[in-house]
Chains A and B, each alone.
Chain A
Amino acid sequence: MVGSNVFRAKFFSLYLPLMLYLVVLLFPFYWMLIVSFKPTNDLFEMKFNPFWIQQFTLENYLYLFQNTDFPTWLKNTLIVSVVSTILSLICSIFIGYALARLRFPGSNFLGLGIFLAYLVPPTLLFLPLAQVISGFGLNNTYWALILIYPTQLIPFASWLLMGYFRTIPKEIEESAMADGCSRIQILFRMVLPLSVPGLLSAGIFCFTLCWNEFLYALIFMSSGSMKTVSVGTVSDLIKADTLFWGALMASAVLGSFPIAFIYSFFVKHYVSGLTAGAVKG
């Protein structure tokens, strides 16, 4: 009897709220998933229970690969995300190291500037940026996004890496310098290998943000063959007259999958990256 009371207490204080959170937070994904596996006609059949699949089909996924540019969108998103992430990481490693270890004029001011850049939202910049990008003739090229995304990523990534670099004991570097290593050698041969968790957090953070970005991609990659997954899904699969709900949901599921997959592998790194700023200050 004691056991059942303990269970009841735990049920109300833990399992029930946990279930509610899981149902509410995951329902939209469940919904997207089941709609993507239903034939279109089943959606209109009002006597079917919409929360379950009556007839399982892959036709929506086939449609996506045969009748839309989905594979191209995927390729574009991947190229832009990988290159921007690498570019941002290189810039952030340099900035993070300079701010963590080197004394040079204006370093405090630059540090503050980079923190503020973290808070500048795309919605404040996209109109003038549209002029800058078309001025450089970069519309509908990978370069448009590859050059713009780092401005959203460098601030947080350098901040994060700066924190990691500071935890490496200075004595290691000092003794290496006494042995004749240059600063650059120390950065690449000693500091970076010791900062792998930080690099991983920063890299995942950058890649996720690139993959998820929508506004700049919507404006700068408007031509059919250059669209990213989010932009292509929203602009090509939502037509005013008919909605291909199944294909729309299939595209949303496949576009979310890589991020969900990477994230669940590296959940610890992502969470520590996400909360590093908030907790450490």
Chain B
Amino acid sequence: MVNGSRLKSFSMRDFFDRERNLGIILMLPGAILLIAFMAYPFFLGIWLSLTDSVIGRAGHFIGLRNFIDLLTDTIFHQTARNTFIYALVTVPFKAVLGLGLALVLNRHMRFSSPIRAAVMMPWIVPTALSSLGWFMIFDPVFSPISWLFRHMGLISKNINFLGDPILAISSVCWANIWRGVPFFGITILAGLQSVPQELHEAAAIDGASVWHRFRHVTIPSIKGVVLIASLLSIIWTFADFQLIYILTKGGPANQTHIFGTYTYQIGLSATEIGMGAAISLYMFPILAVFAILLLIYLRREQ
């Protein structure tokens, strides 16, 4: 029985068992999807950015005019500044608060696994939906923060969190930090747990103080994960969309746009798809730098 079926499918089997054939066949389904819906749109985007296309009408090739026009667009300047603040300035806050969280979670305590599950929630639940919670917390009328401050006598009028440019960018940054802290916390926790306990004990026996052990044992052992988490966080938040789209839609008066929301506004709402593609492509070199840094670091670690 076994022999018969073996003989019949011999050549097919032979083909599939050859590593190079099988390897390429196994790569195919995923590769087709990645090429059709990632690589091809990427190059199509580059082409669109070099045209004056609008939605529903193919445009003409206009060279780099979209990119040059954007250099004198003041909203685009503001967008670039905001993205920088939103993606980079928030990282130290996430890292420090995440480190604090990791140190707390690393202690022995009861209910540690439900507590870990609970603190991860900001990172786990759909950002679009948790942003709605912040949308109400920042509301000019219903904000519980305003209510609390008013009742403590600190303010006489409700705070308009999302209506004032400075407050609005601070508010979206805060919501972004809130969402990112659990990611840093859990990643750093994994780093902390990879430190051999003996190292701490040896240092303690040698008379190192708590601060010294933290400085010379803990910090060096988590430097790598903090760096990787920071680079990933920068790449993700740099290209964020939903949190700002829901909280401010880029307002007030286009003061809180980041690349993602400004691309959406110009490319889809205003239907200038060529110009929109140019805005989003301005992200590319910056993302590429951080991606390369990440790659170099990961290679060196191996």
Contacts and interface: CB of A to CB of B under 8 A. Distances in A.
A, B: real partners:
yes
Interface of A: 14, 17-18, 21-22, 24-29, 31-32, 35, 43, 46, 50-51, 90-92, 94-95, 97-98, 102-105, 107, 110, 112-117, 119-132, 147-148, 150-151, 154-155, 158, 180, 182-184, 208, 211-212, 214-215, 218-219, 229-231, 233-234, 245, 248-249, 251-252, 255-256, 259-260, 263-264, 267-268, 270-271, 274-275, 277-279, 281
Contacts, number: 285
Contacts of B116: 267, 271
B20 to A, nearest CB: 4
* Interface size class of chain B, counting residues whose CB lies under 8 Å from the partner chain: 35 or more
B133 A29 contact: yes
Contact of A256 (B20, B126, B137, B263): B126
B190 A125 contact: no
Interface stretch (B39-47, B73-81, B197-205): B39-47
Contacts of B117: 263-264, 267
A119 B294 contact: yes
B208 interface: no
22 contacts: A28-B130, A28-B133, A28-B134, A28-B178, A29-B125, A32-B130, A92-B30, A97-B26, A98-B26, A110-B27, A121-B283, A122-B241, A124-B45, A130-B268, A130-B273, A183-B22, A212-B126, A230-B128, A230-B242, A233-B128, A278-B228, A279-B190
State the 5 A-B residue pairs at the shortest beta-carbon distance, nearest first. A104-B23, A121-B239, A91-B30, A123-B260, A28-B133
A128 B126 contact: no
B182 A22 contact: no
A124 B119 contact: no
A215 B19 contact: no
B125 A127 contact: no
Interface string B262-301: 0110011000010011001101100100010011001001
